[in-house]
């Protein structure tokens, strides 16, 4: 019976280090493309592309110094009334606007329809100065408001640099310290149970 208690305690300690992670529909830029927005009254979908001929994506990579890219904002009104929404997209400090809509736009959208707007942007030259062998990714978030209430948001990611690709990402998974602690606890439990006899 004592062995069973020790095994249960060891299994419990091992599960303390295990945290399942699930993608949410929060438009974080990761996993947001599968969100069901049909139940929302007002929806914004932000995409990015290197040229008007390329497909619009949630993320682009390998943007070079002086190269423009285009943010596309699709605003959907799922109500039976015409509405004016405020689109806000304050660019990150790394970027500068070249042309297109402003950072804040009032957008009139007919009932049960959508409207698409664009902003052409580039990475500031200062982001490339004095740097070699680098790649940096920046997530940019746009919001829509009705009055002063935020109704939705969406992100797009732009990775820029001098052509160097990130060779590896950090390892993820169960924390080895927690696994080690659970093993030590289990072994100590076995040792103590034998010592008491």
Tell me which DSSP letter residue 177 carries.
H
Express each pLDDT in 96-113 by its tens digit: 999 999 999 999 999 999
Length of the chain counted residue by residue? 197
Q: Which domain holds residue 121?
A: 37-166
Is 113 contained in some domain?
A: yes
Distance CA 70, CA 122 (A): 9
pLDDT for residue 55: 80
Q: How many domains does the chain have?
A: 1
Is 23 contained in some domain?
A: no
Express each pLDDT in 114-164 by its tens digit: 999 999 999 999 999 988 888 999 999 999 999 999 999 999 999 999 766
Is 115 contained in some domain?
A: yes
Distance CA 165, CA 138 (A): 15
Coil, strand, or helix at residue 142? Answer: strand
Angle at 172 between CA 168 and CA 175, to 5 degrees: 140
pLDDT above 90 (res 53):
no
Is 90 contained in some domain?
A: yes
Is 25 contained in some domain?
A: no
Coil, strand, or helix at residue 126? Answer: helix
Contact 155, 27 (CB under 8 A): yes
Contact 54, 70 (CB under 8 A): no
Which CATH number does the domain housing residue 124 bear?
Answer: 2.60.40.10
Coil, strand, or helix at residue 195? Answer: helix
Lowest mean pLDDT among 50-59, 60-69, 110-119: 50-59
Is 92 contained in some domain?
A: yes
pLDDT above 80 (res 31):
no
pTM score, two decimals? 0.66
Is 82 contained in some domain?
A: yes
Is 60 contained in some domain?
A: yes
Contact 153, 141 (CB under 8 A): yes
Express each pLDDT in 178-188 by its tens digit: 666 666 777 66
């Amino acid at each position: 019976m004592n062995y069973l208690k020790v095994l249960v305690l060891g299994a419990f300690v091992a599960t303390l280090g295990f945290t399942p992670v699930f993608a949410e529909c929060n438009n974080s830029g990761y996993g947001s493309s599968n969100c069901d927005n049909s139940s929302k009254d007002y929806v914004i979908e932000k995409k990015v592309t290197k040229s008007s001929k390329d497909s619009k994506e949630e993320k682009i990579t390998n943007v070079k110094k002086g190269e423009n890219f285009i943010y596309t904002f699709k605003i959907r009104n799922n109500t039976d009334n015409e509405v004016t929404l405020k689109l806000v997209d304050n660019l990150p400090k790394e970027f500068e606007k070249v042309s297109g809509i402003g950072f804040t736009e009032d957008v009139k959208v007919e009932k049960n329809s959508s409207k698409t707007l664009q902003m052409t942007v580039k990475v500031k030259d200062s982001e490339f100065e004095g740097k070699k062998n680098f790649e940096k990714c920046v997530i940019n978030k746009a919001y829509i408001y009705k009055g002063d209430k935020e109704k939705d948001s969406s992100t797009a990611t732009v990775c820029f640099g001098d052509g160097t690709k990130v060779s590896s990402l950090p390892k993820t998974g169960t924390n080895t310290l927690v696994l080690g602690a659970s093993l030590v606890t289990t072994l100590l439990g076995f040792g103590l149970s034998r010592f008491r006899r």
